[in-house]
Amino acid sequence: MYRFLFKPKWLGFHLLVLALIVLMVNLGLWQKHRLDDRREFNAEVRARSSEPIVPVGDVVNDDTDPADVQWRTVTATGTYLADEQVVIVNRSQGGVTGVNVVAPLELDDGRLVLINRGFVPDTEPVPAPATGVVEVTGRLRETQARSLGGLTEADGELTELFRVDIPRLAEQLPAPVLSVYVDLLAADPDQGALPIPLPDPELSEGPHLSYMVQWWIFSACAAVGWVLAVRRSIRQHRKDLAAAAGDAVVAAGGDVSAPGGRMPRDSPSPADDAAATAHG
């Protein structure tokens, strides 16, 4: 009865459905992992942002792992090295293209900390940093690494870069550089209308939960569709077998209108037909 389900075309169909189900289940799991990562990131940012604001020197030293202090809010007091200011190109903020402005701030101990002063639209000139002693409040960030397929920085002293690459910038600076940089939130004295401080990190969960559910619904639909297709084919196969059996009975001289091809009880038999003919 069910041997037809093991024919080559059916085996191909089974394998195709199975592959689709496995693929969609795994895509759902991938979205779940991304959701878990996003929730972990959000919790980390909220927790570290709520810690007391302290001087950068109190949380960053030579042995500090940047990942352990990222998103902490700190203060940094010192003097900008205006001649060492650079811009990070190909940035956008609020739907406007522009650059991020990064300048090294010399601390009291002689070390430098890179300050991402904020965003400047392409249509505006990049302002110089303030002179004299300034106090910056901002978020600690890890160095930005080149992603797969990302552009590589040129050699020599640069005034434009593709990312805030601390080791690369340290090569052209005159003093040791902290292993983290600071996204400026506020400064004293105030730096004016430009640069515009970077926005807070987005702490939503994104579309990952809905995507996860969708992929698993799709996989369930594929499984249900396979069941319906098989059941329908089995019913059709039974009809085909019954029709073939009826054709065989007719070919043998039987009548498919009676069970097993036998003549119905109210139908005359061949012997009755012969007797009627003799009496006539």
pLDDT digits (tens, 9 = 90+) for 85-130: 999 998 999 899 999 999 999 998 899 999 999 999 999 999 999 9
131, 159, 188 — which closes off a domain? 188
**Residue 274: per-residue pLDDT:** 38
Say how far apart CA 128 and CA 149 lie, in whole Å.
Answer: 32
Whether residue 77 is found in the same domain as residue 183: yes
Residue 125 sits in the same domain as residue 171: yes
Which residue would you say has higher pLDDT here, 56 or 257?
56
Residue pLDDT, tens place only, 179-219: 999 999 999 998 888 899 998 888 888 889 999 999 999 99
Q: Does 60 fall in a domain?
A: no
Q: Is 60 exceeded by the pLDDT of residue 136?
A: yes
Range of the domain at 19: 1-52+203-227
Pair 66, 76: CB distance under 8 Å: no
Residue 138: other Cβ atoms inside 10 A: 26
Please determine, for residue 259, whether its predicted confidence score (pLDDT) is greater than 70. no
For the question of whether the overall pTM of this predicted structure is more than 0.75, the answer is: no
| CA 181 to the chain's CA centroid | 27
Residue 47 within any structural domain of the chain: yes
Please report the pLDDT score of residue 252 as a whole number: 65
Residue 86 lies in a domain: yes
Number of domains comprising the chain:
2
Domain boundary among 139, 158, 188: 188
Would you call 139 helix, strand, or coil by DSSP?
Answer: strand
Q: Is residue 183 located within the same domain as residue 98?
A: yes
Which residues, listed in sequence order, are joined to residue 107 by a DSSP beta bridge? 78
Rounded to the nearest 10 degrees, the angle between the axes of helix 8-49 and helix 208-251 is: 170
